[in-house]
Structure formats: C-alpha cells, structure tokens
Structure 1
Amino acid sequence: MTVPSADAFLDCIRQLRDVPVPELYCEFRIERFAQENDDEGRALVRRAYADIYERRVRACDHGTVKWLWNDPAFQSAWKRIRGRRPPVEPTWYAHEDEAFLNRKFAQLKEAALSGDRAQFFSHVRVVLYDHFAAWDWLIGLTEALHEYLYLDAAKIAATNRKCITERLAAAIKGIEALAQLADDPFASALYESVTRGTGHHARLSEMAGTLSGLKEMTLIDPENLYPIARLDDTVKERLFVWRIAQLNRRRWRVPKTALIADLMAIEGFATQPDERTVERQCAAFDDQLTRYYRQFDTTAAGKRIAVDAALWRKQHPGQIEAYLAARKLKPRRTTAGAKNATVEASTVGTETAQNEESTTVIK
C-alpha cells in the first residue's frame, strides 16, 4: 500500500482521538445514579460504551489505520504489545460485557449514594474517555509517524535549542519593562483604556506575573531540554526514537528498544537502525532526562513537588513499594529526588478501564 498523505494522517489522528464521548457528560447526573431504580443509570453506561465502540470501528476502518495494520513491521511490533496480529476492528465489546458494565455502574452508584461528587465525576470521566491503553499508544505512534514523514520538527527543535537562551533573556527584559509600566499608574490606566473592548484586555500587573516563571526556566540547560542537538542525515530518525521511547515509557515504564526497531522498518523510513543503535540512543536520552530532573529539582516547582511527595509518602507508608513489588516493577529512573517519588505516587491506586481491557505481552 502507498504511504498515506499528510492530510490522511491528520484525519486519522482526529478520528482516533474522537473515540471518547464527552457530549454525554451532562447526562451523568449524580441524582440519576443515586435513585432506587437502577435502569436509567445502567442504560446510560451501556449507551456510552456502545458509542465508544462504534467510534472505534469507524477509526479502524480509516485508510491510514489499515495501512498500518497491513504493514509486516507494524504487525511484528503489535505482537510484542498485544500478543497477536492487529485486529481489523476492536475485538472487545464492552457494551456487551455484562460483568464489566456492572462494575462500572456499581462504582458510579456507590459514589452517588455517598454524596462524593468528586469521586462520582472521576468515575464518569473514566467511562466517557475510556479507550484501552494500546489505543492511546496507537494515537501516539500515528502522530510520531506523521511528524517523521511530513514535518520538519527535528530542524525546528535544533534551531530552538540554539535560540532559547537568547529568547529567554529578551523575554525577561521585556517583562521587566512591563513590570515597570505596571508600577506607573498613568501608564497602567492608559493601557487599560486602549485595550478595552479589543478582546486583548488585561492588566499590566497580570502580564508581569510571568517574570518569575521565565527566570525559573533559565535554570534548565538547553542541552538537557531538547532531545536534538546536531543536524545530520539521521536527525529525523533520532527524534522518532525519542518520541516512541517517551510513549513507551508512559505505557510500560521502559523504552522497549526492540519494539522501536520493529516500528522503524515500517514503509516510509529512510533509515532503519538496528536494536543496538536504538539502545544506545535511548541510553543517551535517559542520561539527558536525569540531568534535566536534577536541574528541575532546583526550581520552585521542583521544590514544591518534593514537599508534596514527602507528604504523600508519609500519609501512605509502604504503598509505593507494595505496588511495585506486586507487579515486579522497579522504580522509574529519573533522579534520586522528588520527581521519582511523585511519579510513583501518581501511579499507585490508579486502576481504570484501560487496565481491565489491556492484556500486554512485555518483551
């Protein structure tokens, strides 16, 4: 099959992202699930999952998805994460799985009866935005392929890396000038007068509030922020490796270099690095990420994260370790500081429909 066009990729990404059904949000009212008769609430949960399934079917029928499904390299990669060939359409019918629907309804019912609105709407979001974890991965892969095939993102990143220090200095100088204008009551009054009714009305003092954030940004070295430094014949491939490694880490906590090497044999790649090359690149990205977080920990936000993480650990002693041990996982490799603790804390207890549907084979 011919490699899809840029427009075809964008249309495919739109359809893949269109699977959630947020338009049903207003119908999930807490009183509807707190009432004695469960029929209305159960029907609404079933309707949401039926709509999600129909959208999945439409997305899987897109020419770009079919192009991926039929590519031998993608089939090899998909087997690594799902243990089987890619399906021509979704193979799990949530709206027909009574046990699954009963669990989802019971969660909503319990939260509604307790009067815990935050918990109730948390469950609502899980239902309306549910799609199995491999679907999120597929969206990320499609976006990365579009970027590799049709965008000049690597060159832009390398250019921005060279310019960010200079741009930050200019921005700080400009914001400092805004702060001085904000301290001038006559200038402030004039600014509000000339911007009123233009759609761009704002107080100078509010704009000047970004100064501290810009100064915090200067604490991060550009070499630790951008994954691309040099421009050569493989720069687009290296950016793709970085994109997919990040995507895989969010899903499986590891870059899965063999999977990345498989993907780079998909039709359209100018260069196909072997797994050993991908391993070296991912190791370099890991080192860069470690340096980044060490610098991030010195920022005001990094220090707040450290305090929050320490508090969470104190309130939930042993939970992170138990969670990791039960799943035979190692702590994420970031830094020895707060970021690691916070990332682990955010993972513990987050069991959603994604986990119920996704059965992965890690290789």
Structure 2
Amino acid sequence: MHPRWRLLTAAAAIVLSTTTARAAECPEGPDEPKCLNAQAQALRDSDPAEAANLYLRSYRLEPKIDPLAGYGTSLAAAERYVEAVEALEKAVEEYDKIAAELQKNNTEAKTLFAVIHRVQFVREELNKLAKHVGKVRITTPNKQLPPGITVVRKGGDVLLRSSDPTTLVVGLYGDFLVWTYPSGRTFEQKVNVSAGTFSNIDIPPEPPLPPPPPVIVQPVAPNDGSERRIGSYITGGVATVMLVWGVSYLSLADGASPAVSGVLIGGGVVAGAAAIYMYFSAETMRTNAKAWREERAAKPMTTTFVPVVNDQMIGAMISGTL
C-alpha cells in the first residue's frame, strides 16, 4: 500500500475511534443529556452531522429546547435543510411559550432577555434557510385537519416539527407528503414547491381499495368416461358370476329351486345389460373428450374481461379459453 494511503487510513481510524470514544464517555444516568450536549457542542464545527445525532439523543432523553435548537443548527451546517427548518421552527415555538410564561410571572429581566435573545438567534437562522426549502399550506378551517386524518413529510418526524399540522416544510425539486386516513389506508402525494414560497393544497380524497387480482376462469374438460369404463368391467364381472351360479345351481344341485336360479340368472342378465350400456357410453364420452382436446389445441387462447363491482371495490375477472 502506498504510504499516503496508509496515512489516510490511519487518520480515518483515529477519527472513528475518537467519535466512538466520545459517545461512550457519557454514562447512563441523569447527567447523560448534559454530557451529550457538551460532546455535540465540541463537534459542531468539525462534524455537524455527528453533532446533530448527539443533540437529538440528548433531546430524546430530556426534551429541552436548547438541544433541539442545537440539533436544528447542526442539521443546517450539514446541509440537511428541511429537517433543520422543522426542528428550528419547533424550537421557536417552544421558546415563545417560555417567554410568554416568564412575562406572565414577572420574571427578572435578565432571564427573559436571554430567552428572547435565543429566539432572535433561531429566527435569524430560519431566515437564512428559507431559500433552501419550500412550504406547503393545507387548506382547512381553523388550521385543523379532519378527525382521523394525519399528514407528514415522507421521512419526517411529527415530534420534531411545529405543532401546526397544516403547514409542512418540504424539499425543493419535489417531495412527498404521506396522508393517513381513518380507515388506516395511506396515500403519497408528490408536491413541487419553489424555494422560499408557499403552495396551498387541498386534502386529497381517500384512495379507493385496490382492485382484486384478476381471476382466470379455466373451462373444465369433459369427462373422458374412464371411471364409467372401469365400472362396466366390474358390473360385467358381477353379471358373469351371477349367470354361472344360476346355471350351475339349476343343473347341479339336487332339488334346486327354480325361483333361486331365476333370480341369479335374471340378475346376471340385468347386470350384463348395464355393463354393456356403461361400456359403450364410456366409449362415447372418451371420443367426445378427445375431440374437445384436439379442438382446444388447435384454437388460440381468447380472453374476456368481466367487470366485478361491489360496494367496496371495482375490478375485473378474466375468463377465456386456454
């Protein structure tokens, strides 16, 4: 390996091991969020993507606003603009709530000024990011979605954006909104918004159920009479046995009863007639089945679409000649 590649490989290994060590330095417990914040602060300039991950871990452990704001600014530095704007808008919303509460309680001016300063800083960051994103405004009364309907940006986290469900940040050059309806069905809607602009959209109607899969109805081949032919052989055998018994009984038995002999011979004659009928009808069935198969082999497949409609779906059934 070339010495330069060895040097680059060693440097990459050092960076990876250092990052892993930093993450491992924070023990689980009440001080873990503070430790993660300190690590993220140290990485904001050199590795903003990793800093964002650390801020997010801290925020999920202890949902405070400063880690959320740090998460947003780190995402912006990592050029993940849509996620950054979502997080920063939520941070502004939470900072405004705190400022209003402090003013209501007549908190000392120094604390209130610190919160207002943070709000101003985050708003300035949002203004810088406006050219990198677009926004979608959903046309609804009172900024409320109908019950049971939700919408999120595809890949977004509803817990990391502002509380307004009718305004969403989207990426440029096409993005997707994922709608969920009361039935549980979802629909992905593509939106195209120019940089720094709003696009007003209506709630799309719930998509219908997908059509059922096509059902291919295959015609049933006619009976070739094989079972009837076997039955004729069995019946013929029974007829032969009855005739032999009847004649033998009448000619060989002392004091033979003509009635018994008549029953045996008569039953044999009837069974023989049935066997003959079954055999020749089976032959006819075999001939018809053979002709049907030959006709099918010579005829190309034809397909017919039969509409299938009920109160929940529309589809089609395929029937035809195979």
> TM bucket by the smaller chain?
under 0.3
**Going by fraction, where is strand more abundant, 1 or 2?**
2
TM-score relative to the length of structure 1: 0.20
TM-score relative to the length of structure 2: 0.22
